[in-house]
Amino acid sequence: MSRPGLPRWVSHLIVALLLFQASCARLPGRAGNRRMIVLGVDGMDALPNLDRLRQQGSFQRLATTIPPQSPVAWSTVITGMDPGGHGIYDFVHRDPATRMPFSSMAETAEPGRSLTIGPFVFPLTGGQVRSLRRGRAFWQILAEDGVPGTIVRMPANFPPAESKARSLAGMGTPDMRGTFGTFTYFTGDPQEQTRQVPGGRIVRVNVSNYQVELPIDGPVNTFRKERPRASCPLVVHLDPSEPVARLDIGETQVLLKEGEWSGWQRAEFPLIPGLRQASGIFRVYLRGVRPVFRLYVSPVNIDPEDPELPISTPSPYSRELARAVGLFYTQGIAEDTAAVRAGVLSHEEFLAQSRLVMMESLRLFQYELEHFETGLLFHYFSSIDQNSHILWEKYDGELLEIYRAIDRAVGRAREKMGEDGTLLVLSDHGFSSFRRAVHLNTWLLRENFLALDEPQNTGNEELFAHVDWSRTQAYALGLNGLYLNLAGREPGGIVLPGPQSDDLERRLTERLLEFRDPETGDAVVGEVYSPRKLFHGSSLEQAPDLIVGYERGYRASWQTALGAVPAAVIENNTEAWIGDHCIAAKYVPGVLFANRKARLADPQLYDVTVTILKEFGISPAGGMIGRPIY
């Protein structure tokens, strides 16, 4: 149980508590009044203060999915199927026809027909946002059986699955730019240049006469032929001598001191003048006034009071929440790890931002908990996961504070449940350190599985810029995926399906398991999985041909995830992102706490789904592969 990084007393407490597992399983109440609360805590490895829950019921390791990525894992919880059933294998999939990556969770379809008048384009049929996850969500099944459900911020649930349940979309919900979150950092630093960075933009500005006008970018304006990005101005007035500024957003004025966060501000993006506008919300952080002006603007989130895209069922639910608890982050992953990676937010500034996210999440949770009577309440907490990426093994005290905050939420859920009903607290995966970044495409190059147009064309250029497909047998994309360059599937693919591809998979697996870190001699890859042999179901068309499970301390580099081929095979991870879980699944199991004693010794994530349905007397749906845990 003890893991490097957490204080020793936590490990001792956990061991001691395991010895005190109490047998407090109770018979469920009458079907009509059954109550269940499920708290999904992404990335949680162990909570220090769940002793009462543990004494009352059980604590177990919960096997995670292969690969142990949140969209994959939570899709498994949602559907009770493994990736072979729900079809989600990574944050990104690739289109075999182009080998280009796209979001695995949702896609947007443009309107089919439109009418063009002058510079304007009027859609005649509606566009569509569609979830790419297959299978039915467990709360859809519950709702059909008349069980009321409230599902708050479930990952991989954008757009939210249609049902009578109240649900708010979670991870996978885009910002107003249509990305997973793009911050903007305005700076007057003459050394800086306007440029894109992963997850954001750095924009060089000139302050003139103590004033600067900044464009806040919103959605692409599909009502105009040339499809420009809609924008709304943010005017900043700097005091001539004090470290303080006034920000004007439309009619709203905000005064901020250096080092302060604003509350949520509403931006109205004009689409058709006087007729149609899109509303978004954002926060700003005034990093500096002088000598250099520096302002961080959060990704512009979908406004929950006036959402441009479907983020809740029923659709007024997000408005109800916003009016009850105030505006809140709606983008799927709200903690801005991209900004801290880019050096735009310092460590402390990131912690402050992630605290804002957590406070909002706790307010949403408190609101739903107060209104919970019967049925199912699911609430997802992202804070431990996102903070672990930045704090793991290096900032234990700060991480423990977040664990404690979640623990207090668990305590409130226990109080609410009293003696009847079931309380589950689960995480989809654990965590490990990320010390060495593996450039898997470069390894493929060295092993002659991949070829470049010119040998010297290694570098950080993404999307296989210099790959010679006529000589390439395999390529890596995403955080764990490895694909064959298969004839008949990939254009110009050279590996024939059948014995040739089977042999290539075998050779790749063998070589990967023999892969040693040239600097330390340690094994880099712990496990290699073949989705077609491993998974159940028929949703295999997006499956990688092999899934690479790295050893502890290793992970695919950021460049690998987007198809770059840098010069080195492995490099030290020097970024702020120091913890991860996209490794071999055996190293990063999740955890499951319950106020009931478990029957299964080795529960899996898909068992949770069947367990929830059983709680309400409902049989598993077709395709579900789990067993009841209790």
Partner 1 sequence: MGSTLEILNKVIGVLLERYVSLFGFARPLLSLIPVSVLAGAGLLWVFRKTSNPVSILSTKKRLQAHLLEMRLYGEEPVVVWRALKALLWDNLRYLRLMLRPALFATLPMILLLIHLDRFYGRAPLPVGRAAMVTVRLRQPIDVSIPAPVLHAPPGIIVETPAVRVLSARSIQWRLRPLRNVSGRLRLVFPWGKLEKDIEAGTPRHILSARRVRSTADLLWHPGEPRLGSDAVDWVEVNYPPASLRLAGFNLHWLVIFVVTSTLSALLLKGRFGVVL
Question: Which residues would be at the binding site for partner 1 (CB under 8 A)?
Answer: 209-211, 237, 239-246, 253, 255-257
Distance of alpha carbon 336 from alpha carbon 351, whole angstroms: 9
Assign 116 to helix, strand or coil. Answer: strand
Supply the minimum distance, in Å, between the C-beta of residue 143 and partner 1.
29
Q: Which is nearer to partner 1, 165 or 295 (CB)?
A: 295
Q: Residue 575 to residues 199, 339, 376, 389, 553: CA-CA distances in angstroms? A: 14, 11, 40, 11, 14
Q: Which is nearer to partner 1, 111 or 243 (CB)?
A: 243
Supply the minimum distance, in Å, between the C-beta of residue 286 and partner 1.
11
Distance of alpha carbon 314 from alpha carbon 337, whole angstroms: 31
Q: Which is nearer to partner 1, 15 or 255 (CB)?
A: 255
Which among 561, 328, 389, 396 has a CA at the least distance from the CA of 42? 389
Helix/strand/coil percent split, the chain, to 5: 25, 30, 45
Q: Residue 434 to residues 37, 539, 597: CA-CA distances in angstroms? A: 33, 31, 35
Q: Which is nearer to partner 1, 305 or 396 (CB)?
A: 305
Supply the minimum distance, in Å, between the C-beta of residue 241 and partner 1.
7
Angle at 415 between CA 414 and CA 418, to 5 degrees: 85
Q: Which is nearer to partner 1, 239 or 447 (CB)?
A: 239
Q: Which is nearer to partner 1, 257 or 586 (CB)?
A: 257
β-pairing, 35-41 vs 375-381, is: parallel
Supply the minimum distance, in Å, between the C-beta of residue 246 and partner 1.
5
Supply the minimum distance, in Å, between the C-beta of residue 307 and partner 1.
23
Q: Which is nearer to partner 1, 314 or 326 (CB)?
A: 326
Supply the minimum distance, in Å, between the C-beta of residue 258 and partner 1.
10
Half-sphere exposure of 158 (CA within 13 A, CB side): 28
- Residue 280 phi/psi, 5° resolution? -135, 165
Supply the minimum distance, in Å, between the C-beta of residue 328 and partner 1.
18
Tally of CB atoms within 10 A around 48 = 17
Supply the minimum distance, in Å, between the C-beta of residue 236 and partner 1.
10
Supply the minimum distance, in Å, between the C-beta of residue 261 and partner 1.
12
Tokens of 388: 């672990």
Supply the minimum distance, in Å, between the C-beta of residue 365 and partner 1.
22
Assign 365 to helix, strand or coil. Answer: helix
The residues pairing with 433 across neighbouring beta strands, listed in sequence order, are 579
Distance of alpha carbon 338 from alpha carbon 355, whole angstroms: 16
Supply the minimum distance, in Å, between the C-beta of residue 368 and partner 1.
24
Q: Which is nearer to partner 1, 323 or 446 (CB)?
A: 323
Assign 267 to helix, strand or coil. Answer: strand
Q: Which is nearer to partner 1, 214 or 245 (CB)?
A: 245
Q: Which is nearer to partner 1, 250 or 491 (CB)?
A: 250
Give the list of residues 6+ apart from residue 419 with CB closer than 8 angstroms, or none. 26
Give the list of residues 6+ apart from residue 159 with CB closer than 8 angstroms, or none. 106, 129, 130, 131, 169, 309, 310, 311
Supply the minimum distance, in Å, between the C-beta of residue 205 and partner 1.
17
Q: What is the DSSP letter of 316?
A: T
| Strands laid side by side in the 474-477 sheet | 474-477, 481-484, 546-550, 525-529
Tokens of 50: 């769940």
Which among 534, 518, 526, 532 has a CA at the least distance from the CA of 555? 526
Supply the minimum distance, in Å, between the C-beta of residue 367 and partner 1.
19
Tokens 């529960």 sit at which residue? 603
Determine the longest span between alpha carbons in the chain, in angstroms.
Answer: 74
Supply the minimum distance, in Å, between the C-beta of residue 453 and partner 1.
55
Give the list of residues 6+ apart from residue 167 with CB closer than 8 angstroms, or none. 139, 149, 150, 151, 152, 154, 157, 160, 161, 312, 313, 317
